[in-house]
Amino acid sequence: MQPSRLSRRRATSVGADAVRRGAGPVREWDFVSRHDPWEALLERLDDAAKLTHLDPDIHRLLRTPERVLEVAVPVRMDDGRIEVFTGWRIHHDRTRGPAKGGIRFHPDVDAAEVTALAASMTFKTAVVDIPFGGGKGGIRVDPTTLSLGELERLTRRYTIEIAPILGPDRDVPAPDVNTDGRVMAWLMDTLSMLRGESLPGSVTGKPLSVGGTKGHAGATSSGVMVCTRAVLHELGIPLAGSRAVIQGYGKVGGPLGFLLHSAGMRVVAVGDVGGAVYNPGGLDVHGLAEHLGRSGTVAGFAGGDAVSAAELFEVEAEVLVPAALEGVLDAGTARRLGAKVVVEAANGPTLPEADPILEDRGIVVVPDILANAGGVTASYFEWAQARQGYAWEEGLVASRLRKTMEDAFSATWGKAEALRVNLRRAAFALAVERVAEAIATRGLFP
């Protein structure tokens, strides 16, 4: 399947004015602009190719995913009928190592999105300089409609369908949107049963009881925290007392709220799929966590005023952390943004159309392929421990994670200064150079 023929997302664009007109409840993904994520990724790749004077042959290789596997996933539902879902596992480039990337379960997943995310993983692993390539997977499904048994059967059948391209030296999945350690345990068990051998290194993000690593949970949040601290330091903005807005308060945004608060920042606004709350004096993150645990959403928290999803981006703050789905920062949002710095905890939250607007406004963006690379770095540590058969101490995981992220930020900041470009362009340039060097060194077979 050629990249130009990959299917496009069907996400609907809904303007903030619709909220103000009282058009009914609006989910956070309703603000995703209609766009093709693969084309957006190619724009950034092409720009990096120009910046680095990339060899045209290597450029053509990187513009084409290595493998696009689409599979039917038939599942017997609890009522006895068979439902057929569509799934993908895509490899973008594996020159630097096995494909690495999460698996997401979401009703809007399609080939274009998964391909873009796979390519992002190629560049993300290169930015933090770990020996992986880029991969990604997904199933078009709303997991909230499935029973636990249906979810397990879905996971195991999907694993069987993509099993030929999986393995510790081929492709190592991890959790992503709407998947977790339990799903990874099912995946690992299914693959191990098929191969007749124990394969703890075949997935990461597993529970500790089956070979997971201490420090993996919250690693993405920790990496975002490292980047937030580093960028504020470079900009001369004091960390203590600075204001933060977090859009998306789940597996990444939730722990990050505690980390920012512990570092002395004021988390003044947060939002999730249910709504958003704002308190200029700073939200009580502990009370918010208790409310979230009871209600399943930050909406309705008594310690803050309700704001719309659109208004959340307009809140004045030093730092905005988009930590939900991709494409939430379009041109219109970029013009209204109230933050001075954006640290991208989500994958692809900023559309290419927004980048020049943010730059013209002097808003510094720490890109996703750097900012949220803490998760894949911890996954690398888990994979390495599985290969060694030896578990590291939690302190060692934390210190190595911090150093890896600090080194990656320093390299990206240095590249930005050398090329006189913003951090996103610098990160892609750095990543493309590293991948291109590996491709040139290995050569083309046959």
- pLDDT tens-digit profile of 260-288? 999 999 999 999 999 999 999 999 999 99
Question: Into which CATH architecture does domain 67-212 fall?
Answer: 3-Layer(aba) Sandwich (3.40)
CA distance 255 to 268: 15
Query: Domains of the chain: which residue ranges?
Result: 67-212, 219-371
Query: Which pLDDT value is given to residue 34?
Result: 53
Res 29: pLDDT: 32
84: buried, middle or exposed (CB in 10 Å: 19+, 13-18, 0-12)? exposed
What does the pLDDT read at residue 4?
Answer: 34
pLDDT for 374-412, tens place per residue? 999 999 999 999 999 999 999 999 999 999 999 999 999
Closest CA to 191 of 210, 219, 214, 216: 210
Which one of the listed residues 124, 136, 214, 340 is annotated catalytic? 136
The tokens describing 185, both together, are 């345990």
219-371: CATH topology is Rossmann fold (3.40.50)
Tell me the C-alpha distance between 357 and 359, whole Å: 5
Q: What is the predicted pLDDT for the residue at 325?
A: 82
Residue stretches of the chain with pLDDT short of 70: 1-34
Active site residue 136: yes
Same fold, 67-212 and 219-371: yes
Across 273-316, the runs of DSSP E, i.e. the strands, are 275-278, 305-307
Residue 430, pLDDT score: 98
Distance of CA 227 to the CA centre of its chain: 15
